[in-house]
Structure 1
């Protein structure tokens, strides 16, 4: 009896299991299916816009950009066409996986290019800073301290100058000729 009851339960579970397995009908290919190459472009753009929205949502809101509407207008599609195409491609697993691999590869290429541009910008900024430092050092080295100037004067000119200083009389003292004439 236990064996019969066990057989009945196993048979019942087997029927339920077989009954639950159903043949899912795949949807028909939509007439307005987005071509695979265009779908890659659309999904790449959507990925970029969603990343931008997650990074700086307020900036997108301030300029009034709705990412989905922007993509639909840019690629001349509507939301229903995108939905139908996305559903159909999702049923075609291998094709859909290829699409997403292409999107991923494009995003990686864009990231690599952006990183190399950033590296070049950093190198340029560093070069500019170095040139500024070098030019400041060069200007500082050109400045001459007046107290350290060592002029070489022509000895003949020096003698004439010293002699002229000896012969010069103080202008506050009256010349001797005037003092004698004034006393008369």
Structure 2
């Protein structure tokens, strides 16, 4: 019985395909496939609206065909430790992409919050100007003063030009 059960467990491993996708490229392919599957699961209608066929996109992008991908996938799956390493690399890449996107999203939220705060502050300033005419007048006076200072600064720049020579003689 024991000999019969052991003899039935003899599984033949497939030969390494001649067109095996290299491990680094397989990581790229599986990463892209994972992203496309996530996009399809997130919003299938948007993905379909692009007219993009995910499978043909992958094959075209990486210069492979479906048969080559299947043979390579089968061969790697028989070599479990190597396949596990490939999937760990895919998982790590996706995690890095996620953390980058999360940090970008945090920056976008901060920018949106600061824009909203600036808009709110400017509306409050406008309201306070309407309610307090003295403040409005003081702001107008400040802008007039600022213009006068700018004019004086321009004159000072012109003062670098030497004054005209006087023809009058001074008495001693």
TM-score (norm 2): 0.73
- Secondary structure of residue in 2 paired with 1:30: coil
Larger Rg: 1
CA distance in 1, matches of 2:100, 2:69: 29
Q: Are 2:53 and 1:57 equivalent residues in the alignment?
A: no
- Deviations 1:16-51 (Å, cap 9, x if unpaired)? 4234222x2211111111111110000000000011
Q: 1:111 to 1:132 in 2, by over 3 A?
A: same
Paired residues for 1:88-103 under 5 Å = 88-103=75-90
Instruction: Tell me the secondary structure at the aligned position of residue 108 of structure 1.
Output: helix
Match of 1:38 among 11, 25, 28: 25
Q: Distance in 1 between matches of 2:58 and 2:112?
A: 36
Q: Does residue 17 in structure 1 map to residue 21 in structure 2?
A: no
Structure 1 residue 81 displacement after superposition: 0.4
Displacement after TM superposition at 1:15 (Å): 4.5
Q: Which one of the candidate residues 94, 114, 118 is aligned to 2:101? A: 114
Gaps of at least 5 residues in structure 2 are 134-172
Instruction: Give 5+ residue unaligned stretches, structure 1.
Output: 1-12, 147-184
Aligned position for 1:155? none
Q: What is residue 123 of structure 2 aligned with on the other side? A: 136
Asked if residue 105 in structure 1 is aligned to residue 92 in structure 2, the reply is yes
- Residue in structure 2 matched with residue 3 of structure 1 by the alignment: none
CA drift of 1:144 comes to 4.2
Length, aligned pairs only: 133
Is 1:79 matched with 2:66? yes
| Deviation of the 1:14 alpha carbon | 3.1
Determine the C-alpha separation between the residues in 2 that align with 1:33 and 1:129.
54
Compute the displacement of 1:138 (Å).
1.3
- Partner residue in 1 for 2:161: none
Scaled by the length of structure 1, the TM-score of the pair is 0.68
Q: Per the alignment, in what secondary structure is the counterpart of residue 64 of structure 1? A: coil
C-alpha root-mean-square deviation of aligned residues, in Å?
1.5
